[in-house]
Amino acid sequence: MNNYEGTIEFWDERFGKNISEQKYYNPNSPLTMTEIEEGLKWLTKGSASIIDFGCGSGTLLFRSLALGAKNVVGVDISPKAYELAIQTSTANKMNDNTNFVVGSIECLNKIETNSMDAGISSNTLDNIFPIDAKLVIKEFNRIIKKNGKLLIKLNDTMAEAVFEDDYYQLVSENFYKEESGLYFWNLSDSKFKELISPYFKIVQYFNVPFPKTDYKNRLYYLVNDK
């Protein structure tokens, strides 16, 4: 596996603050971003089991359970994210419906083929090494049942001039390490379609705007028709 020490440190610090302040998510509260809430409604319809790679503290999985999913699996590289997910699960009496694990792609390798109805990847595929992103998509294709659903959210693409700042260190083509320790793959829509098309069919696409900014995320609804 590629080196993600900086990524782990970054997210451990973020999630660690919520643990200390006991900030747990209430799954009965709709998500504030309407586009993501609607995406989860689409995903959970007819999907009893859902896996989220890069689940963080499990917010999208907990909301999926509230929307009708029965069993969820969350994988994240941050031990503090895992700890917060467990505490949130306990606080909401969802332990029997959740399975959270700390790790990366090796965790996906252990999951049975055609064992999940749906999957989620939110701002993860373009924050890991491109070779790892390709492996994750292949694993999703193997794990998710035929005609099962996948919801992918990506960061916005950025102009090349942005990367002239010393904050970004070029690792490989269009792939950078940030001063924060995170990675960023400036993944274009066309490159993403090329990456995903051998494994999933894109059925819908939405922009997810961030209030009072020009920034957006990109949200893809996909179906495993391969």
Q: Which CATH number fits the domain that encloses residue 107?
A: 3.40.50.150
pTM here?
0.95
Question: How does strand 183-185 pair with strand 175-178?
Answer: antiparallel
Residue ranges with strand state E in the chain: 49-53, 71-76, 98-102, 116-122, 144-155, 168-172, 175-178, 183-185, 201-209, 216-223
Contacts of 3 (CB under 8 A, 6+ apart): none
The CA-CA-CA angle for residues 52, 88, 46, to 5°, reads: 40
Look at residue 1 in the predicted model and tell me its pLDDT: 63
Which range, of 62-66, 147-151, 176-180, 208-212, averages the lowest pLDDT?
208-212
Quick one: which H or E segment has residue 189? helix 189-196
Q: What confidence category does residue 25 fall into, taking pLDDT thresholds of 50, 70 and 90?
A: confident
Please give the average per-residue pLDDT across 148-175, as a whole number: 96
Number of domains in the chain: 1
Provide the residue range defining the domain that includes 22.
Answer: 5-223
Look at residue 16 in the predicted model and tell me its pLDDT: 92
Question: What is the DSSP code (8-state) at residue 156?
Answer: P
Q: What is the pLDDT of residues 55-94, one digit of tens each?
A: 999 999 999 999 999 999 999 999 999 999 999 999 999 9
